[in-house]
Amino acid sequence: MLSEKIDAMKDELVAAIQEAVRIKSVGGEPSEGAPYGEGPRKCLDWTLAFAEQMGFRTKNVDNVAGWAEMGEGDEMVALLGHLDVVPEGKGWTVDPWGGELKDGMVWGRGVLDNKGPVIIGLFAAKAIFDAGLKLKRRVRVIFGTNEEQGSKCMKRYVELGEDLPSAGFTPDAEYPIIHAEKGIVTYTVSLPFAPSGEMKITSLEGGVAANVVMAEVTAVIEDSRTECRQRITAAASAWKGPEGSSLSSDDDGSRVTLVMKGHPAHGSTPEKGINALACLADFMAGLKLKGEQGEFFSAFSRLAGFETDGKSLGVAMADEVSGPLTACVGVVKAEKDRVSFTINMRYPVTAKEEAVTGPIEETFRKNGLAVEKVSKANPLYMPPESRLIQALQKVYTEETGQEATLLAIGGGTYAKTMPNVVAFGPVFPGQDYTIHEEDERWSVEDIMKNAHIMAKVLVELAQVRE
């Protein structure tokens, strides 16, 4: 009966995901009633209204999160997801905010990360109760609006004393089961960047978010000498960087605009991308800029460059559970004679935070980098023998016929924000997903597979009354 209810909702489910994707919910400047920007608040309001239409009890939690709930019972099980998304970036072949249905897939920023799974959670819960199943625990879908910028929304949810789940999962990673998540430390650091000499950079900016490998950076170089500008453009045409990168130049009067392109990747897997700032620093070494601007590119290449393991920063490490530390440079911006950039690190679950922060802050100090901002998230580890892990393994194996192995990831999810929660889905093993990249998309077939799995997991965790 439950499976039939889910299948009957297919068209409505896909249409709802499309509608959610069309809301541009990138975090922005706070305003009254919108702590993380107008886009995330708009998507929160839409989701709450949609859930109410479906028959859920709902609540807006301080304009930063919300929940939709069905059923009765003293205890509650939950599916957690987020409505905010990273910026769209460039290189799309479709409208990133169009929610287009093409080639059996829904396309758009956030369809996988993480609006699609949130909407599936609502439909899965509704199908359970439409099927007449009586559960021992309430079923709640919790959705926040700040996951991509630190998950402060879920921290606020907990601070306000909202119900915490007896068991739950967040479909914001991959299958089978994520029982370990690396710790995360993100620094924003800066260096002096005052111009010196006739050749000077007047603008430097790139990247979309700290947790996305920088895919493009633009530098504007001013020089009144025609022969120098010609030398820059000639060098740009001849530059050969890593496969997949490119450099274009435009000589306009007394300035040359350089646009370096790399390739985006999620901050937890920076080795899959090409960092555009590393490419630009490699190119700039040949121009021999003087003073602080030249020193910045030299320091960047020496301390970060193309590395993704933190070795030159003094923090390379690994463990058997979760693998090596990763380091991702995501955003760079020059202003007021200083240049700042972000370093997003994911460290092994068995490591102590101070094993990362101590050495890297000493490296910053020795090299003259000022720490402007730092954010942190502790590692997560759920033992294989826990009831939650065993319940997820049972359903995954029954639904897919595949072994439900346990995985460790570098990504940080809502599972870290409250007890009794792990990441589970929505990407199946071996799939080439496009989270945080251009042309993010999700097949309708996989959307429906996830709906069946999520519904049965919620039933397993909430337990049918006998």
Which residues are catalytic, by number? 84, 147
Separation of first and last alpha carbons in the chain: 17
The answer for 99, left when phi > 0, alpha when psi is -120 to 50, beta otherwise, is left
| Whole-number Å distance between alpha carbons of 43 and 41 | 5
Which class for 445: exposed (0-12), middle (13-18), buried (19 or more C-beta within 10 A)? exposed
Helix (H) or strand (E) run with residue 373 in it: strand 370-377
Tokens encoding 397: 């194996």
Helix axes 444-462, 115-130, angle to 10 degrees: 60
How far is residue 286's CA from residue 275's CA, in Å, rounded to a whole number?
A: 18
> Rounded to 10 degrees, what is the CA torsion of 289, 291, 296, 301?
50
Long-range contacts at 10-15 (CB < 8 A, ≥ 24 apart)? 10/444, 10/448, 12/123, 13/119, 13/120, 13/123, 13/447, 13/448, 13/451, 14/101, 14/106, 14/444, 14/447
Per the document, the length of the chain is 466
Q: Which residues contact 367 (CB under 8 A, 6 or more apart)?
A: 299, 302, 303
Closest Cα to residue 216, out of 238, 250, 252, 248?
Answer: 248
Contact 318, 331 (CB under 8 A): no
* The one-letter amino acid at 42: K
